Amino acid sequence: MGKRMLSDMLALVDSFLYSCLWLEVNILDVKVLIFGIGGLVGHYLAQEFLDAGYEVYGSDINKPGNLQIEVEFTKVDLMNGEDVLHLISDTKPDMVVNLAAISSVGASWNIPQTTMMVNVVGALNIMEAARKQEVMPKVMFIGSSEEYETSDKPMNEGTPLNANNPYGISKVTQERFAALYKEQYGMKVYCVRPFNHTGVGQRDSFVLPSFCKQAAEIEKTGKSGTIKVGNLAAKRDFSHVKDIVRAYRMIIESDDCMKNYNVGSGQAHGLNEMLDYIVSLSSQDITVEVDPDRFRPVDNSVICCDNGLIEKELGWKPEYSVFDALREMFEYYVRTQ
C-alpha cells in the first residue's frame, strides 16, 4: 500500500471519528421539554429521549411519583401563560412536546369548556412562549384518530377531518392553530394523530387495564371469578405505548413538519378478542358478565390506522403488539396489587 493511499485512508478515518464525536456531543446537548410528563405517555417518552442521549426536562400540574431521576422537573399549570413562558425561557429547549390534555372522549362530553381550554388554550400558551424565544424550539402536539370522520376502513392522513365529539373537535382546532403559527411565524410545529395505545401505568378506568386488573385479582385469589365488562362489539387499533413514543421521537427529529402523521399498529382487534387473551393468561376459571353501568353504545364499530405514510417517510414500524402490552399489564397487576 502506497504512502499516499495510507495517508488518505487515515484522513478518512479521522474524519469519520470526528463526525461521530460531533454527532454524539450535539445529541447530548439537545434539550427536550415535555409538558404533561405525569401521564402514561410522559414516563415512556422521557425514557425514550433519555435512552437516545437527550437532556430531558418535564412539567406537569403535579410532580409524578415515577419520574426518572435524570429528568429536571418544574411544576407548571399549562393554563398560566406567564409560567409557561418563564419555563421555556429558562430551560431554552430545542424541542417541546405537549402531552398535557383532556384525553378522554367521555370526559370531554361532561366538560367541553375545560376540554377546549386545556387542549387549545394550553397549546396556544406553548406556541406563544416558543415564538418569543431568540431561537424558536421545535414544538410537537398530539392529536387523535378522533379527528377523522367515521369509517370502517383504515384511516390514512387523507381521510376527511370531521370530529363528532368535543375532544376530537379540540384536537382539530389545535392543528388549525399549529398551521397558522407555522405560516405566520415560520415555527416548526409537528402534529401527530395517534390511535389507541396502552401499557403498564395506564389508569384502570380505561378498558384494557380494567380487564387486566380484574383478571389479575382473580388470579391471585386462586379461585374462579367474574370479570365485569361493557360493550365488547368494537374493534380498535391499539398500539404498545413504547412504539408510540418511538414514533414521536422520530417525527420531531425529522426536518419536515408539514406532514401530520398517523401513528398506529395498522391492525384492529375486537375488544372480545383481547379480553379472551387476557382471560387465557389466568390459571383460574373466569366468566364474563356484562355490567349495565359499563355498557355504552359504540358509534364507530371499527377504528383502524393506515400507517403507510410514517413507514414510507421515516421507516417506523411497530416492534410490539397490543398482546405484548396486555401480558405486561396482567403480570404487573399480579405482582403489585
Beta strands in 15-174 (DSSP E): 31-35, 55-60, 72-75, 95-98, 138-142
Q: What is the mean pLDDT of the chain?
A: 92
Percent residues over pLDDT 70 in the chain:
91
CA–CA dist 166, 112 (Å, integer): 6
Lowest mean pLDDT among 7-21, 50-64, 244-258: 7-21
Domain ranges of the chain: 9-200+239-266+307-321
Query: Quick check: helix, strand or coil at residue 141?
Result: strand
H/E segment holding residue 286: strand 286-290
Query: Distances from the Cα of 335 to the Cαs of 50, 211, 228, 305, 331, in angstroms?
Result: 27, 16, 21, 33, 6
The answer to whether residues 233 and 297 touch, using CB atoms and an 8 Å cutoff, is no
pTM of the model: 0.90
CATH class name, domain 9-200+239-266+307-321: alpha beta
Grid look-up 367541553 returns 112
How does pLDDT run across 144-174, given as a tens digit for each residue? 999 999 998 999 999 999 999 999 999 999 9
- Can you give the pLDDT at residue 77? 97
The answer to whether residues 304 and 155 touch, using CB atoms and an 8 Å cutoff, is yes
